[in-house]
Amino acid sequence: MIFIPYLFKKDLLRLKIIFFAWTLLILAQLALGIGGGKLVAEFLEFQMFLPLFTRLIGFLQCLMIIVIIPLIIQDDSLVGTAAFWFTRPISRKGLLFTKSCMILILLVITQLIAEIFVLAAQGATARLLLLAAPEIFIEKLAFVIPFVILAIITPKFSRYALVGIITFVAIVVALIIWSVITMFLRKYFPTFVKHLYNVNMAKSPSLGASGGIAKSIYVILIGSAIIAYQFLTRRTARTIIWLVAAFLIMVCFTRIWSWDFLKEIPVVKSPPAISGSLSVGLDANYISILDEPRFGKKDIRVKSINVKETVEGLPVGQFAILKETKDVQMKYPDGNSLKSDFVSTNNIKTYSNEQFMRPIQAALKDVKLLNPYKEDFSYTKVFSLDELTFHQFKNIKGTYSAHAVFDIYKYEIVSQMPLKPGAKNSFGAEQVVIYDILERANAISVIINEQKINLVFDRSVKKRSLGDFAQDMYSEYNHVYLIVNTKRNEAFLPEAGINLFSGAMELYSPTRLKTMAKKLDFTNLNSKSEPLPKIDEEWLADAELVRLDAVKVGAEQIDFTVDGFSIPSQSTETGKENSEIEKRLKMQYN
Amino acid sequence: MNNIIETRDLTKRFGKNTAVQSLNLTVPAGSIFAFLGPNGAGKTTTIKTLMNIMQPTQGSATIFGTDSRRLGPKEFAQIGYVSENQEMPEWMTINQFLNYCKKMYSTWDDKFCHELIEQFSLPLKQKLKSVSRGMKMKAALVSSLAYRPQLLIFDEPFSGLDPLVRDEFISGVLNITEDKNWTILISSHDIDEVERLADWVGIIDKGLLKIVEQAEVLQNRFRRIELTLKDPIDIKHNFPENWYLPELQDRTVHFIDSQYEDRKSEDKIRTIFPNCSNVEVMGMSLREIFVTFAKKFRISEL
Residue A10 with chain B: CB contacts under 8 Å = 89, 100
Cβ of residue A90 closer than 8 Å to a chain B Cβ: yes
Give A457-466 pLDDT, tens digit per residue. 988 877 766 6
Residue B54 with chain A: CB contacts under 8 Å = 81
Q: Which of B51, B81, B104 sits opposite A3 (nearest CB)?
A: B104
Nearest to A493 by CA among A352, A282, A329: A352
- Quick one: average pLDDT of A464-487? 76
The angle subtended at Cα B93 by Cα B90 and Cα B96, nearest 5°, is: 105
B32-36/B183-188 β-pairing: parallel
Say if the Cβ atoms of A86 and B51 lie within 8 Å: yes
Q: Which of B73, B85, B104 sits opposite A82 (nearest CB)?
A: B85
> Quick one: pLDDT band at residue A151, thresholds 50, 70, 90?
very high
Give A339-390 pLDDT, tens digit per residue. 876 666 655 677 777 888 999 999 999 999 998 887 776 677 777 888 888 8
Query: Which range, A80-84, A196-200, A316-320, is most confident?
Result: A80-84
Element (H, E) at A134: helix A126-152
Residue B72 with chain A: CB contacts under 8 Å = 89, 91
Residue B69 with chain A: CB contacts under 8 Å = none
Cβ of residue A18 closer than 8 Å to a chain B Cβ: no
Residue B88 with chain A: CB contacts under 8 Å = 84
Q: Which of B53, B88, B103 sits opposite A81 (nearest CB)?
A: B53
pLDDT at A515 over 50: yes
Say if the Cβ atoms of B85 and A6 lie within 8 Å: no
pLDDT at A509 over 60: no
User: Looking at chain A, which residue has its C-alpha nearest residue B85?
Assistant: A82
Q: What is the 3-state secondary structure (H, E, C) of A27-92?
A: HHHHHHHHHHHHHHHHCCCHHHHHHHHHHHHHHHHHHHHHHHHHHHHHCCCCCCCCCHHHHCCCCH
CB B108 within 8 A of CB B146: yes
> Quick one: pLDDT band at residue A263, thresholds 50, 70, 90?
confident
Which phi-psi region, left, alpha or beta, contains residue A389 (left: φ > 0; alpha: ψ -120 to 50)?
Answer: alpha
The angle subtended at Cα A80 by Cα A74 and Cα A86, nearest 5°, is: 75
* Best of B55, B57, B87 to mutate (most A CBs within 10 Å, chain A): B87
pLDDT at A109 over 90: yes
Torsions phi, psi of B176, nearest 5?
Answer: -70, -40
> Quick one: pLDDT band at residue A505, thresholds 50, 70, 90?
very low
C-alpha dist (Å) from residue A537 to A2, A417, A419, A483, A540 = 71, 17, 11, 13, 5
Count CB atoms within 10 A of the CB of residue B228.
15
Say if the Cβ atoms of B89 and A84 lie within 8 Å: yes
> Quick one: pLDDT band at residue A328, thresholds 50, 70, 90?
confident
User: With a CB-CB cutoff of 8 Å, which residues 180-239 of chain A face chain B?
Assistant: 235
Residue A77 with chain B: CB contacts under 8 Å = 87
CA distance B257 to B280: 12
pLDDT of residue A171: 92
Task: Quote the mean pLDDT of chain A.
Answer: 83
Say if the Cβ atoms of B103 and A6 lie within 8 Å: yes
Q: Which of A6, A77, A84 sits opposite B88 (nearest CB)?
A: A84
User: Looking at chain B, which residue has its C-alpha nearest residue A155?
Assistant: B87
* Best of B43, B45, B100 to mutate (most A CBs within 10 Å, chain A): B100
CA distance A409 to B231: 125
HSE-up (13 A, CA, CB side) for residue A230: 29
CA distance A126 to A133: 11
Q: Beta partners for A434?
A: A448
* Best of A74, A86, A96, A97 to mutate (most B CBs within 10 Å, chain B): A86
User: Looking at chain B, which residue has its C-alpha nearest residue A81?
Assistant: B53
CA distance B242 to B224: 12
Question: Higher confidence at residue A307 or residue A378?
Answer: A307
* Best of B103, B127, B145, B152 to mutate (most A CBs within 10 Å, chain A): B103
Tell me the whole-structure pTM to 2 decimals.
Answer: 0.81
Interchain CB contacts (distance < 8 Å): A and B: 50
User: Looking at chain B, which residue has its C-alpha nearest residue A13?
Assistant: B92
Per DSSP, which regions of A486-542 are E strands? 490-492, 505-507, 509-523
Residue B14 with chain A: CB contacts under 8 Å = none
> Quick one: pLDDT band at residue A506, thresholds 50, 70, 90?
very low
Residue B53 with chain A: CB contacts under 8 Å = 81, 86-87
Nearest to B260 by CA among B200, B213, B201, B220: B220
How close, in Å, is residue B134 to chain A by CA atoms?
Answer: 17
Cβ of residue A88 closer than 8 Å to a chain B Cβ: yes
Nearest to A382 by CA among A347, A343, A348, A349: A343
Say if the Cβ atoms of B79 and A87 lie within 8 Å: yes
Residue-by-residue pLDDT tens, chain B, 302 positions: 589 999 999 999 999 899 999 999 999 998 999 998 888 889 999 999 999 999 999 999 999 999 999 999 999 999 999 998 899 999 999 999 999 999 999 999 999 999 889 988 899 999 999 999 889 988 998 999 899 999 999 998 877 677 887 787 787 777 777 666 789 999 987 777 777 788 899 989 889 998 899 988 988 899 999 988 887 776 666 678 888 888 888 788 888 998 888 888 888 888 888 888 888 899 898 888 888 887 877 766 65
pLDDT of residue A345: 62
- Quick one: average pLDDT of A181-192? 80
pLDDT of residue B38: 83
The angle subtended at Cα A63 by Cα A62 and Cα A66, nearest 5°, is: 90
